[in-house]
Each structure stands twice: as structure tokens, then as C-alpha cells.
Amino acid sequence: MSILIRKVRLKGEVVDVLIKGNRFDSIGTDVDAFADVVIDGSGKAILPSFHNAHTHAAMTLLRGYADDMELHAWLSEHIWPFEARLTEDDIYWGARLACLEMIKSGTTFFADMYWHWKGTARAVEEMGMRAALSAAFFDFDDQDRAGLMKKQVMDLHAASASYSDRIQFILGPHAIYTVSPDSLRWLGEYAGRHGLLVHTHLSETRKEVDDCLARFGKRPVEYLHELGLLAPNLILAHAIWMTDAEMELLAAHGVQVVHCPVSNMKLASGQFNYAAMKSHGVAVALGTDGCSSNNNLDMLEEAKTASLLAKVTAMDPTVFPALEALDAASVNGARMYGLESGRIASGMLADCILVDLNHLRMVPGHNLVSNLVYSAGSSCVDTTICDGRVLMLGGKVEGEEEILAQVRATVARLTERIVPSEDACS
């Protein structure tokens, strides 16, 4: 399979881009080649697609379900009871909706932690995206449950070999307050033996930190260090309530962090200190978190919010400039998950987007990067390509009407026995 994109703008120059198989092949001002698919790139710019470094894809099923609540009550009283009703097929349709939303907003990769791993994997395979998928690991200090969770990890790890190389198996301990010390040690050792990434929530709320101090006498990063988990294969989502000493520990061990600004703000979890993380040399990528706490999967919106929040946190308008924010939404996530993507260059994986330069939010065109981060939205994305395959062209994705209908039917069935609260709209 080959794709030729003609007359498209790349870094200020109009070029032709040839994709062969799943890699960029030739990029130049006059590429003379036959291709199976030819796309007119006139009036468009080609850019790396986005990499959503932390989400819970099938939580599209809970979009708008339980808003305006504190994190721990939100989880225990609303989210977890709802999730207990979900089947693998429910997860499949929720994940397909997430894939559809991400494709339409220019994202080709996401890192996920959720239930029914195979349901999400099936959705990713069918939608043509990339993903790093973990099954949520909870044991709540219950040894029997821990045994079941460990068996699930090993079984799914073995099963993951049958999927395409667009799907990466990773480990997903939920958090230090839902996973026992013994299980965390086991997961760290298992990851080391098998060369796997570990993706977890950490220091998302002040309560989490206070509880860790009360129980273990250490702050969360120090606690993970004691358990032997701090390593370059550890990825921390949120990482809000951090001291300088903790950031130094993260940097010393090559631990990477995913910033989820919209979710953090919506749940009032706290303010992520990007300037401090950068000064300590900690690598930062962006993630949307799930649709129940964001409530969308738009990485351009995440990049803008991250940049603006960093500026007001530091009271410095030069902090987290547009290019850094765009990189955090694209190439940083690619590096974090070991992907040869995030750049438009010969030999790199052919994951990219075409942005409509004639969209009203892109006019006038003083600065493409500034327009993308501070002005554009998902409607500016015209075409999405992943692994050398066109997933969206002209803003249209094949089968999107069926996905919307199936998700509506799924949610209707899931909520038919739930009594609306007093605050629900009538």
C-alpha cells in the first residue's frame, strides 16, 4: 500500500510526501512516483499526529454521567459501581467511540488503563490506531484478589502476542491506594523480567499524599522508590503533589510523567508545576484522562490548556510556549512509549495529520504552531493517517454512524435500572 500526498505544506515549504507500507519514504518538492492513493494536500499542512499518553478509552460511556465531584467520592460512589456493570462488549463499543473521537481530532495513539483488555484491543485493531493497553490492576490489599489480578496480567500478556504490533501490552496498577505493596513489587519485577512499561496514577490529590505519609511514613515517590519501581519504564499520570526532592528522584531514575490538565482542573485535584518538572529534567507528555473527567479526548484542547495553566501557575507568559506544548501532545508521547513516530521524516512511522489552513481558526497564517495550539480545534483536522493507512479523509471516518448508534443503545441498557438523582435534568 502506498500513499502520495501532493503539494502539502511542511515547515513552511510546499512538498510531496510519499508513504510506502507503514513508513514515510520520500519527501521533496517534486516526488515522481506512482501510489495506490493520491491525496491533494493543497491548502493543508502535514504534521505529526497526536499521542494521548494517558486515558481510559471506554469511559466515553460515562461522559457527563457524574460531574462536579471530588475525586475519591466520584470514584467510589459513582464510577466504580457503574463500571462493575460493564461487559467486554460494552467496553468494545465505548473504546470504538473513543477511537472515533481521537481519529477525528488527529490522535493515532493512546495509552489506556481499563477493564476488559480484549474489548479495547479489538476496537483498536478494527479502527486502525496504535495503543499501549493495560488491564486495570486493583487488589485493595486482598490477597485472593491479588492472585486473580496477577493471573490476569500473565494471561493477557500471553494473549497479547496474537495482536498486531500496533498494540503494546503494558502493566497498569491503578494507584498506591488501591494496590498493595506486595503487588506493586511483583508488578515491578514482572515488568523488569519482560521488558514492559508500568503506567500508574500517582500523587493526584493531596489526600493521596497525606494517606501515604500516614500509612508508610513516606511521600508517594519515596514509597515507590522503596518498593523498587522507580526506573525508566515507569510512567506516572498526574504527578501533581510533588516536592523538589521527589522530582529529583524521578529525574535521577528516568521516570516519565503524563500531565492531564483538563481532568486535574475539573476534579480540582491541584495544579501541575510544569516549570518545576522541566527544570528538574523530567520528561512530560500530555494525556486527556478519561471522558468522565475531561470530558473529551481532544489533544489540541489539552495542549492549549496545559500551556495556559503553566503560564498562570508560574506567572510567566514565556513558560510552556506553543512549540513545547505541541511536542508534548505528539513526539513526547511517542518517545515515552518507544514509538518511531512523532516526526515527519523518511523512515519514521507514517502517522500524521493534514490540517486545513483555510479553516477560519487558521486564518490569517502568521504562525502555524501558534494557530494550532492557541486557536485550532478538532474541526481543523481534515485527514488522519496511521501506520500508512488513511483513517479519516475530509473529516469523515467510515462507520461512524454505526458506532454512535451502538453506543447509545449500550448506554440505554446500562442505565435502565439506575434511578436518576435529584440533580439530573428532567
What's at 382, amino acid-wise? D
Name the residue with cell 523498587: 228
Secondary structure of the chain in the HEC alphabet? CEEEEEEEEECCEEEEEEEECCEEEEEECCCCCCCCEEEECCCEEEEECEEEEEECHHHHHHCCCCCCCCHHHHHHHHHHHHHCCCCHHHHHHHHHHHHHHHHHCCEEEEEEEECCHHHHHHHHHHHCCEEEEEEEECCCCCHHHHHHHHHHHHHHHHHHHHCCCCEEECEEECCCCCCCHHHHHHHHHHHHHHCCCEEEEECCCHHHHHHHHHHHCCCHHHHHHHHCCCCCCEEEEECCCCCHHHHHHHHHCCCEEEECHHHHHHCCCCCCCHHHHHHHCCCEEECCCCCCCCCCCCHHHHHHHHHHHHHHHHCCCCCCCHHHHHHHHCHHHHHHCCCCCCCCCCCCECCEEEEECCCHHHCCCCCHHHHHHHCCCHHHEEEEEECCEEEEECCECCCHHHHHHHHHHHHHHHHCCCCCCCCCCC
130-156 pLDDT tens trace? 999 998 999 999 999 999 999 999 999
Nearest residue to 167 (alpha-carbon basis) of 114, 112, 116: 112
The per-residue pLDDT of the chain, averaged, comes to: 95
What's at 372, amino acid-wise? L
283-306 pLDDT tens trace? 999 999 999 999 999 999 999 999
In angstroms, rounded to a whole number, what is the distance separating the alpha carbons of residues 250 and 84? 34
In angstroms, rounded to a whole number, what is the distance separating the alpha carbons of residues 35 and 50? 25
In angstroms, rounded to a whole number, what is the distance separating the alpha carbons of residues 174 and 336? 19
Say if residue 73's pLDDT is above 90: no
Phi first, then psi: give them for residue 413, nearest 5 degrees: -70, -40
Alpha carbon 292 to chain centroid distance?
A: 14
The whole-number average pLDDT for the span 221-241 is 98
Dihedral (Cα; 36, 39, 40, 45), 10-degree rounding = -140
In angstroms, rounded to a whole number, what is the distance separating the alpha carbons of residues 32 and 18? 9
Say if residue 423's pLDDT is above 60: no
Say if residue 78's pLDDT is above 80: yes
In angstroms, rounded to a whole number, what is the distance separating the alpha carbons of residues 99 and 265? 24
Report whether 39 contacts 75 (CB < 8 A). Answer: no
The whole-number average pLDDT for the span 266-290 is 97
Beta bridge pairs of residue 257: 236, 284
User: Tell me, what's the pLDDT at 415?
Assistant: 83
Report whether 276 contacts 245 (CB < 8 A). Answer: no
> pTM (2 decimals)?
0.95
Say if residue 33's pLDDT is above 90: no
Asked whether the CA dihedral 226, 231, 234, 240 is positive or negative, the reply is positive
Most distant CA atoms of the chain, gap in Å: 67
Task: Name the percent of the chain lying above pLDDT 70.
Answer: 98
Report whether 229 contacts 191 (CB < 8 A). Answer: no
Q: Tell me the pairing of strands 2-10 and 352-356.
A: unpaired
Say if residue 40's pLDDT is above 60: yes
Domains of the chain as residue ranges with CATH: 2-48+353-394 (2.30.40.10), 50-336 (3.20.20.140)
In angstroms, rounded to a whole number, what is the distance separating the alpha carbons of residues 200 and 178? 11
User: Tell me, what's the pLDDT at 327?
Assistant: 98
Say if residue 425's pLDDT is above 90: no
In angstroms, rounded to a whole number, what is the distance separating the alpha carbons of residues 34 and 376? 33
- Res. 328 pLDDT band, cuts 50 70 90: very high
- Res. 70 pLDDT band, cuts 50 70 90: confident
178-228 pLDDT tens trace? 999 999 999 999 999 999 999 999 999 999 999 999 999 999 999 999 999
Report whether 52 contacts 287 (CB < 8 A). Answer: yes
Say if residue 426's pLDDT is above 70: no
Report whether 370 contacts 49 (CB < 8 A). Answer: no
Name the residue with cell 505493596: 181
